[in-house]
Amino acid sequence: MTETTTVTDLKDLGAATAVSEAALSEPKIDAQGRAYGTGRRKDAVARVWIKPGSGKITINGKDQIVYFGRPVLRMLLEQPFEIVSRENQFDVVATVKGGGLSGQAGALRHGISRALNNYEPALHTALKKAGLLTRDDRTVERKKYGRAKARRSFQFSKR
């Protein structure tokens, strides 16, 4: 059922690709009505499932307020929903492993964004523009031998 369009001018090329992208992107929803997304940040990996609901976020079997004590980390989880104006419309169930709380919150934000993108592909441009679909690849630099830390030298002693 694919349509073939003939492009005679370069002006028509933009419209033809926009139509084909919209036709190709379909929601990826499983039998339970959930969309899945994997998020990564530092050493943390988050597996995230979203489904329509009241806005409840559960992480490793705990409520978000119990798991993330700091409001700043909970704010990170809400960002994808605020950007696409879908607050309190999806329930989130996630499992997170590795890293610290900050890395886990970043991984959850990335995973929620990818799950939203899979659930509703029309949100892709808004999420991409906000930079939420891009993995933040900054990690801690390793310690080198002959150094106190990654770059710090040992204290110099003249005598």
Q: Are 46 and 92 in contact (CB under 8 A)?
A: no
DSSP single-letter state for residue 147? S
In Å, how far are 2, 23, 123, 148 from 110, measured between CA atoms? 32, 25, 14, 33
Phi, psi of 133 (to 5 degrees): -90, -5
Residue 93 CB neighbour total at 10 angstroms: 17
Mean pLDDT across the chain: 89
Query: What is the C-alpha end-to-end distance of the chain, expressed in Å?
Result: 82
Collapsing DSSP states into helix, strand and coil, what is residue 58? strand
pLDDT at site 24: 59
Neighbours of 25 (CB within 10 A): 14
How far apart are the C-alpha atoms of 142 and 150, rounded to whole Å?
A: 6
- 41 has pLDDT over 80: yes
Q: What is the pTM of this model?
A: 0.81
Structure confidence at residue 70 (pLDDT)? 95
Nearest-angstrom CA–CA distance, 132 and 119: 15
Q: Which CATH class name applies to 27-129?
A: alpha beta
Mean pLDDT within 117-128 = 93
CA angle 65, 45, 72 (to 5 degrees): 35
Q: Express each pLDDT in 2-36 by its tens digit.
A: 566 666 776 666 655 555 454 557 889 999 999 99
